């Protein structure tokens, strides 16, 4: 197959990231990547008793987990957090059409297999959940726990949440919206440097095919890419899942409300009542220290 045309964010854009001391790691030998370079964090012992696989959403990157990673590492665990293609330090396809539910899912499946991740606690939010919740059914023996934050399963069985529809409309009208400003609105405790870290992967609009593509990728109709695997995943979580689960809900999220999250909890076999975070919005990880501490208790 032909190589994928891409942009690569200069390393200088990532200098001095606050609260993020970890060295970047890259791989480019996944078949689905067709030569693209994928960035990931991989910290802690390779033979740790627990591996936390942390999947980010749109428009963030693995930086969003910086408040949770130290808690997991202090417990002697391993933490793996990839940047989806088009985000963070990973290469960024320039063609919006390159981004699809099926392609990004395949990249993640190959990534998990390539690193041979075992004893996994899956940590998901936003698109990390839309994609990540479809992974364990392919290799149930790898996964022992689930920490799910504001997200949902894209089964196209009911209309998309109104909050998401408003988000998608905003992305259509303002494809160059400020990502750092977006994070700051829901997280006033962020410093200017932390907000800049969210803008760092995208020096100009030419790097932002993924942030334009992802709102349109959410499956809305039964025939849409991703619906069949999402429905299969829903059956897996309801009927076959035997691991431990935890849900943490940002109550200020305008996209995935507490009601949307409660509906998702009802799909996950054995998932207890959620940890409710009154001050957290969509990006729950920005209140992540307390979530990680509770996850260690509930899942570790």
d(CA 82, CA 239): 29
Catalytic residue among 47, 126, 189, 225: 126
Tokens of 74: 């202090």
CA–CA dist 194, 180 (Å, integer): 8
Clarify whether 282 is annotated catalytic. Answer: yes
Active site residue 42: no
Place of tokens 């429905």: 231
Q: What is the gyration radius of the CA atoms in the chain, in angstroms?
A: 18
Among 145, 160, 157, 164, smallest CA distance to 268 is for 145
Assign 293 to helix, strand or coil. helix
Interhelix angle 162-173/209-217, rounded to 10 degrees, is 150
φ and ψ at 138, to 5 degrees?
-80, -20
Q: Reduce the DSSP state of residue 93 to 3 states and report it.
A: strand
Residue 253 bears catalytic tag = yes
Residues annotated as catalytic are: 126, 253, 282
């Amino acid at each position: 197959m032909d190589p994928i045309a891409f942009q690569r964010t200069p390393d200088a854009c990532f200098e001095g990231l606050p609260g993020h001391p970890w060295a970047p790691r890259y791989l480019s030998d996944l078949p689905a990547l067709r030569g693209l370079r994928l960035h990931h964090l991989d910290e802690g012992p390779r033979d740790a008793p627990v591996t936390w696989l942390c999947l980010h959403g749109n428009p963030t990157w693995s930086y969003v987990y910086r408040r949770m990673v130290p808690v997991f590492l202090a417990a002697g665990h391993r933490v793996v957090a990839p940047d989806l293609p088009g985000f963070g330090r990973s290469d960024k396809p320039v063609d919006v059409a390159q981004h699809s539910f099926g392609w990004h899912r395949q990249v993640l499946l190959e990534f998990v297999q390539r690193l041979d991740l075992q004893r996994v606690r899956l940590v998901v939010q936003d698109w990390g959940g839309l994609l990540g919740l479809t992974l364990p059914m392919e290799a149930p023996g790898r996964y022992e726990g689930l920490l799910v934050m504001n997200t949902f399963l894209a089964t196209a069985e009911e209309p998309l949440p109104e909050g998401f529809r408003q988000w998608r409309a905003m992305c259509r009208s303002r494809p160059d919206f400020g990502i750092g400003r977006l994070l700051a609105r829901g997280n006033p405790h962020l410093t200017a440097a932390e907000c800049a870290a969210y803008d760092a992967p995208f020096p100009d609009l030419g790097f932002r095919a993924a942030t334009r593509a992802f709102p349109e990728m959410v499956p809305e109709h039964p025939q849409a890419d991703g619906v069949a695997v999402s429905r299969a995943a829903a059956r897996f979580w309801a009927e076959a899942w035997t691991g431990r689960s935890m849900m943490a809900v940002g109550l200020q999220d305008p996209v995935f409300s507490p009601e949307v999250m409660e509906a998702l909890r009802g799909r996950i076999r054995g998932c207890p009542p959620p940890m409710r975070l009154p001050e957290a919005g969509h990006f729950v990880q920005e209140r992540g220290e307390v979530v990680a501490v509770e996850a260690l208790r509930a899942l570790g």
